[in-house]
Structure 1
Amino acid sequence: MNYTKNVTKRLFAYALQSKGTFIAALIMLSIGVAADLTAPFIAKNMIDNHVLAIEKPYFESEPGQDAVLYQDQYYKRYDRFREGETQGEEIRILQSGRSFYLINEPVTIESGTRTYENGVLTVTRGEQSAAYQATPLSVDELFSFYAPELPGIYKLVGLYFIFLLIAIIMDFGKTYWLQSSANKVIQRLRTDVYAHIQRLPVHYFDNLPAGKVVSRITNDTEAVKDLFVAVLSNFFSGIITMIGVYVALFILDVKLGLISLFVVPLLVVWMILYRKIATKYNTIIRSRLSEINAMINESIQGMSIIRVFRRQKKTNEEFEALNEDYMNHQNKMLNLNAFTTHNLVNVLRNLAFAIVLLYFGAGSIDGSSLISLGVLYAFVDVLSRLFQPVTGMVNQLANLDSSMVSAGRVFELMDETGEQVTDSSMPRYLGNVEFKDVSFAYNRDYVLKNISFEAKQGETVALVGHTGSGKSSIINLLFRFYDPQKGTITIDGQDVKDIPKQWIREHMGIVLQDPYLFTGTIASNVSLNDNKISRDTIEKALRDVGAEQLLSHLPQGFDEPVVEKGSTLSAGQRQLISFARALAYDPAILILDEATANIDTETEAIIQSALEVLKKGRTTFIIAHRLSTIRSSDQILVLHQGQIAERGNHDELMALGGRYYQMYQLQQGNLLPDSTVTDQVKQPALAQTSVPL
């Protein structure tokens, strides 16, 4: 219950951001409901005061307005005499069957069973009976008595159309304002969710499939949109309409209005019981939908692997099992809705009309509560309108629960602790990096132990070692994707923990072994649409790294479209674009993660030349497996089981004859493989990003 209250409170806070339009919508809704509910009262007035009012007493009168001429004598209805006018003898007009009869005397009993025979109209009610001499009225004579009623009827019909027009306009305005407000709320919510994802630490995504995150941003926020657009619209309309209906019922008959209130507690209890069951199903349904999205995303990303290893059938079976479970829970929700929604409304409607019939019927039998036909019509009409909003509200219960579950999932994601974002920046630092007794563990076991080294401005530091030795972990700490449990890391003598993460990353760049390109153009992938980077800077960066050689044949040159992570470009072309990106951002610290590992021999010469341009004047860290590419490094750190086993430049380490010497000789083909020094698989722990941060 507290969880639901928290979600409701937060959704209400978002709704308040558009409170002006919501209030306008509610005002228009109230006016529309009031205008719509005038129809039964207009009908009541028309029936009681005009259509059936012909049976009210008439008296002889002088010729004039509202007077009816019958057999050379004028008659006027009793309530149309003005002050000072004289009333003559009374006559009455009563209907029996389809005919109307004129009685030249007062009528003592007028309600009951009426029969006409041999010039006598008999009225029987219970044990009472009265007989009157009566004359049948022709159609023309009857119409003459109705003629004075026509102006009033026309006026009421015109009034009905005026209120109908008001109701239509208000309904349009209500729908427009509610839905536009809902769209604004969801736009803000989706923007906030996406912005929060940008602030989440990188390690949050280590164990969370991308498809699940996408599902929360798209499917779950879309379900929340249904809450504001459909659910709240129906519930607001329903509640205000029900209030208007009950006001109308109490105006017509207080006692029956009180009796009709039984609908409200039944509806509330029904909704509580429904949500208890539905929430359980909807939670599983939303979770399964996220898993389906995650699996689809993973299958598309790894489609080539699936086909190469002939895993189509197995993957399809896994998807079918997940989809089957999703369908089963959807069917459970369908069964729940089928048993509740329409059945509930039908039960309530039938029960309400049974009470009305019992109430009015009993009153008519004993004569204790005789009412006019107009009141009866208006009451039935108003009561029937009560179940239109009830139907709308009950039919939205499924969407309400699904939306609340989705909102809870969205807010759960937004409650994850994010990194503080600062709009300001810091001056470009020199790039003097120092690790002092740094120890770090992702979980419990330390992957780095007492790491200490110093990289001065403009130096190139190479990190080598077997898989899992800690190379990528050092880079992750440098980028502050993680912080060490022990020791300190400083840049230009300042502890990195004292510097906002965005400030540090602003002057860092990275080139991955498999660079990531975004949908757009080659130029936009260099600048990442940063307005600070001009077109001239983009083109100069591409030329400086030698990209012009590999990209010159493209039809649109540097404006060539890039789709699907650059799948239409070669590995060398993607790598050079990544180099140009790093160069354009002019980082003080540059990380090269085996930048030449996937490059063919012909392209490697261009890449090596680009590397020299890229490293110039920057502190450069290279994760290397091909040791021949790091011979010119100022410092080489040989890592083993999270510790620095050897350090020095290439010549010093070769002279040492240790681990590095064995690895180098092995790659040159001068030694037999040694399992303690081979390095065949790259450590994958480095956070997947290729953008200078």
Structure 2
Amino acid sequence: MKPNTGRRLLQYALQAKTTFIAALLLLSIGVAAELAGPFIARSMIDNHMLAIEKPYYQTQNAEGAVSYNGVYYKRGDRFESGEIKGQEIRLVQIGRSFYFINEPVKSLSGDRTFTDGQVVVRDGGETASYPAVKLSSSDVFAFYKPEFPGIYQLVGLYGLFLVISIFAEFGKTYWLQSSANQVVRKLRTDVYAHIQRLPVYFFDNLPAGKVVSRVTNDTEAIKELFIAVLSNFASGIINIIGVYIALFLLDFRLGLISLFIAPIIVVWIILYRKVATKYNTIIRSRLSEINAIINESIQGMSIIRIFRRQKQRMAEFETLNEDYLKYQDKMLNLNSLTSHNLVGSLRNFAFVLVLLYFGFGSLGGGTIVSLGVLYAFVDVLGRMFQPIIGMVNQLANLDTSMVSAGRVFKLMDEPGEPVTDGEMPRYKGDVVFEDVSFAYKKDYVLRDISFAARPGETVALVGHTGSGKSSIINLLFRFYDPQKGSIYIDGKKTTDIPKQWLRKHMGIVLQDPYLFTGTIASNVSLGDERISRERVEAALREVGADRLLAHLPQGFDEPVVEKGSTLSAGQRQLISFARALAFDPAILILDEATSNIDTETESIIQQALEVLKQGRTTFIIAHRLSTIRSADQILVLHRGEIVEHGSHDELMALGGRYRRMYELQSGSTMAEPAAAAAMQGAAIQAESPDSPAASAEAAAKEQPALQSANRQG
């Protein structure tokens, strides 16, 4: 059983765990530095700004004391051990004014008023009255002056924590993004490497655009998971933990009131993902389909324009685009209706509870907390909702990333071909098919195929479309393995030879060769370090490519765009021949390499073919029978069976299917046109071993496999 998506993402994240841990450590430091602010503010309010109402005592020591009417007074909590305290006095704030009371005050809790030189304090049913004198602004400032050094220290400490949080935020962002880039690079590399190991038949029914979307769009969405989502959720969780610690440190009872927020957030995330995952799965699927249709349209742009199918293709694209927009709008509605509304409701509800608490007094019936604690509590509680907003806003990205990761891992879970290190010596090319039967699905497209190709021989495969020619080559390359029978190379069963070893000594030239972006020389060597520049140039000269490529400004270093679209068919074909020659295969497959070439170029390519075939076992898939007259043996396929076997002269003398096909192509027969048409119709009818559907299936599967073979050189 394979691990779930989250666990597999964690395994990738652990590959960059050092930078992730460093980022999370800096994140924790930054959160702690930010949360220090409310505590500093509380200390500033309670210990300095409002502490002026604490008891003051007369003192003989002028240091740190306040001079009022020629007498020195000092706050009671600032007397040193052993220092004598004199008469107690109190300062009382009523409105914006301060009053001096020259005697102890029992309590300042309750409602305060100043009338006729008396400060009256009413606390419940009790009333206390104290003679008082109103202080001038300079007197009030004098009492505040000793508080300034402490306030300056707290401001400096706040600035220090602010600098720490700035550097922590920078380091967190840098390391988090750096580690995310490492993870996505590794994931993207693994996906691409796995694509290289997937069997050829996997791509038969999967559009290239969908594969590209997995490697690019989906992995980019996973990158957002590690950068934006992880950053917001990690900072959010650490912030919330820090906030709750701060809340309980400020006031245990108020901390308990705020506990309801955490479970609501957890439940909300679970419910949100249930709905959002359904939408995001469709969104990512539609995006893949859009990429696929764009890729297909670009590849077939000439056909679309020739047959004037622009409107139809546009309609198909618009249908997908509309569906994509519909589900994007659903996600937008989901996010708009819930995320900010939820956070706003939670915040307002939390503040209402706090106000109710202060409205009814403390839960235990004691006194209400100080103004500094209240300010710090509201500040800290407000700070908790900022990361919650960040987390809720990232829920859409979280779900998109998880859906994308699931799609990527689904591709990576497709069984791939095993990679075997090492290589085998170049074999001679003695090929034997022994009672081979093969089916792509359930209907056999090859039945009891038996023949032998000796080293150096040329074997031609002829027959109508769907007769099984390309299927034989697919089995030889081990793109597929037969259900019955065996294939031997130099006496060894091909299923006992690792696929990479087997293909190392095989080469193929397709009717429509595939060239990669690069140069002519790089398309010959395919970047193989074992193929030197001298070998590349020698191969090009031997096949006569220098004659067709001599006019190019940069010669063999001429740039080649994707598929070699700036080169002629003959130039592409000769480059493909040189590629096969440079790799020096023991077995060579030619898929009617001259069918699309003009007569003048064909003569050059025919000479190249003779050079290429020397010393190699060569298989030719022939459509133009005039090109295989010199083949050592010709296999005539019909409905997946070898119906005729021999040289050109032998088969012509036999007067069977091969002769009729040859005469139809050469025009030497005197048959009536109607008879010829009937014969062609019968041949087309014979394409399928059992049914037209099976023929279409076989034909559809053969060509992509051979195209892939060409890409592998």
Shorter-chain TM-score range = over 0.9
Contact kept? 1:510, 1:691, Cα under 8 Å: no
Contact kept? 1:460, 1:621, Cα under 8 Å: yes
Aligned-partner SS, 1:262: helix
Q: Which runs of 5+ in 2 are unaligned?
A: 688-695
Shift of 1:366: 10
1:538 is matched with: 536
Residues 56 and 525 of structure 1, relative CA distance in 2, 3 Å threshold: same
Q: Quick one: distance in 2 between partners of 1:664 and 1:495?
A: 35
Shift of 1:295: 0.7
Aligned-partner SS, 1:261: helix
Contact kept? 2:253, 2:363, Cα under 8 Å: no
Q: Quick one: distance in 2 between partners of 1:677 and 1:316?
A: 38
Supply the AA of the counterpart residue of 2:466.
Answer: G
Deviation track 1:238-258 (CA, whole Å, cap 9, x = no partner) reads: 111111110111111112212
- State the identity %: 71
Of the candidates 156, 159, 177, which is equivalent to residue 158 of structure 1?
156
Supply the AA of the counterpart residue of 2:396.
Answer: A
Supply the AA of the counterpart residue of 2:226.
Answer: F
Of the candidates 288, 296, 318, which is equivalent to residue 290 of structure 1?
288
1:391 is matched with: 389
Residues 692 and 282 of structure 1, relative CA distance in 2, 3 Å threshold: closer
Of the candidates 647, 650, 655, which is equivalent to residue 648 of structure 2?
650
1:670 is matched with: 668
Deviation track 1:82-121 (CA, whole Å, cap 9, x = no partner) reads: 1111111111101111111111111123122222232222
Supply the AA of the counterpart residue of 1:489.
Answer: I
Residues 493 and 409 of structure 1, relative CA distance in 2, 3 Å threshold: same
Supply the AA of the counterpart residue of 1:334.
Answer: L
**Count of matched residue pairs:** 691
Of the candidates 399, 402, 405, which is equivalent to residue 400 of structure 2?
402
1:639 is matched with: 637
1:21 is matched with: 19
Residues 263 and 275 of structure 1, relative CA distance in 2, 3 Å threshold: same
Of the candidates 72, 75, 84, which is equivalent to residue 73 of structure 2?
75
2:189 is matched with: 191
2:577 is matched with: 579
Of the candidates 201, 204, 211, which is equivalent to residue 202 of structure 2?
204
Contact kept? 1:7, 1:404, Cα under 8 Å: yes
Supply the AA of the counterpart residue of 2:410.
Answer: E
Shift of 1:137: 0.9
Supply the AA of the counterpart residue of 2:520.
Answer: I
- Once structures 1 and 2 are overlaid, which stretch shifts more, 480-489 or 124-133? 124-133
Deviation track 1:379-419 (CA, whole Å, cap 9, x = no partner) reads: 11111111111111100000001100000000000000000
Supply the AA of the counterpart residue of 2:41.
Answer: A
1:428 is matched with: 426
1:139 is matched with: 137
Aligned-partner SS, 1:363: coil
Deviation track 1:345-383 (CA, whole Å, cap 9, x = no partner) reads: 001100111111111221179972321111111111111
Q: Quick one: distance in 2 between partners of 1:56 and 1:168?
A: 37
Shift of 1:264: 0.7
Residues 507 and 455 of structure 1, relative CA distance in 2, 3 Å threshold: same
1:174 is matched with: 172
Contact kept? 1:509, 1:691, Cα under 8 Å: no
- Once structures 1 and 2 are overlaid, which stretch shifts more, 436-445 or 164-173? 164-173
Supply the AA of the counterpart residue of 1:669.
Answer: G
Q: Quick one: distance in 2 between partners of 1:633 and 1:474?
A: 17
Q: Quick one: distance in 1 between partners of 2:376 and 2:712?
A: 73
Of the candidates 41, 46, 51, which is equivalent to residue 39 of structure 2?
41
Of the candidates 617, 620, 630, which is equivalent to residue 618 of structure 2?
620
Aligned-partner SS, 1:530: coil
Q: Quick one: distance in 2 between partners of 1:14 and 1:21?
A: 13
Shift of 1:591: 0.2
Q: Quick one: distance in 2 between partners of 1:230 and 1:486?
A: 54
Q: Quick one: distance in 2 between partners of 1:213 and 1:364?
A: 63
Supply the AA of the counterpart residue of 1:598.
Answer: N
Aligned-partner SS, 1:518: coil
Contact kept? 1:585, 1:692, Cα under 8 Å: no
Q: Quick one: distance in 2 between partners of 1:559 and 1:683?
A: 37
Q: Quick one: distance in 2 between partners of 1:366 and 1:408?
A: 52
Contact kept? 1:360, 1:369, Cα under 8 Å: no
Contact kept? 1:200, 1:416, Cα under 8 Å: yes
Q: Quick one: distance in 2 between partners of 1:439 and 1:65?
A: 107
Aligned-pair RMSD on alpha carbons? 1.6
Aligned-partner SS, 1:29: helix
- Once structures 1 and 2 are overlaid, which stretch shifts more, 440-449 or 421-430? 421-430
2:88 is matched with: 90
1:305 is matched with: 303
Supply the AA of the counterpart residue of 1:395.
Answer: N
Matched, 1:240 2:238: yes
Matched, 1:51 2:19: no
Residues 357 and 611 of structure 1, relative CA distance in 2, 3 Å threshold: same
Contact kept? 1:464, 1:471, Cα under 8 Å: yes
Shift of 1:69: 0.7
1:555 is matched with: 553
Shift of 1:130: 2.1
Deviation track 1:494-538 (CA, whole Å, cap 9, x = no partner) reads: 000001100000000000000000000000000011111000000
1:357 is matched with: 355
Shift of 1:677: 4.5
Deviation track 1:536-581 (CA, whole Å, cap 9, x = no partner) reads: 0000000000001100000000000001311110000000000000
Of the candidates 268, 271, 285, which is equivalent to residue 269 of structure 2?
271
Of the candidates 338, 341, 358, which is equivalent to residue 340 of structure 1?
338
Q: Which runs of 4+ in 1 moved over 4 A?
A: 364-367, 677-684
Q: Quick one: distance in 2 between partners of 1:181 and 1:318?
A: 40
1:230 is matched with: 228
1:257 is matched with: 255
Deviation track 1:289-317 (CA, whole Å, cap 9, x = no partner) reads: 00111111111111111111111111111
Residues 308 and 119 of structure 1, relative CA distance in 2, 3 Å threshold: same
Deviation track 1:182-220 (CA, whole Å, cap 9, x = no partner) reads: 110000000000000000000000000000000011011
2:567 is matched with: 569
Q: Quick one: distance in 2 between partners of 1:509 and 1:471?
A: 17
Q: Quick one: distance in 2 between partners of 1:366 and 1:410?
A: 56
Residues 692 and 140 of structure 1, relative CA distance in 2, 3 Å threshold: closer
Contact kept? 1:431, 1:618, Cα under 8 Å: yes
Q: Quick one: distance in 2 between partners of 1:105 and 1:364?
A: 30
Residues 142 and 123 of structure 1, relative CA distance in 2, 3 Å threshold: same
Aligned-partner SS, 1:37: helix
Q: Quick one: distance in 1 between partners of 2:356 and 2:183?
A: 48
1:511 is matched with: 509
Shift of 1:692: 5.0
1:109 is matched with: 107
Residues 121 and 692 of structure 1, relative CA distance in 2, 3 Å threshold: closer
Deviation track 1:599-629 (CA, whole Å, cap 9, x = no partner) reads: 0111100000000000000000000011110
Supply the AA of the counterpart residue of 2:217.
Answer: N
- Once structures 1 and 2 are overlaid, which stretch shifts more, 77-86 or 676-685? 676-685
Q: Quick one: distance in 2 between partners of 1:247 and 1:75?
A: 38
1:467 is matched with: 465
Supply the AA of the counterpart residue of 2:639.
Answer: Q
Supply the AA of the counterpart residue of 1:641.
Answer: R
Please give the TM-score of this superposition, normalised by the length of structure 2.
Answer: 0.95
Residues 588 and 233 of structure 1, relative CA distance in 2, 3 Å threshold: same
Contact kept? 1:509, 1:585, Cα under 8 Å: yes
Residues 311 and 291 of structure 1, relative CA distance in 2, 3 Å threshold: same
Aligned-partner SS, 2:589: strand
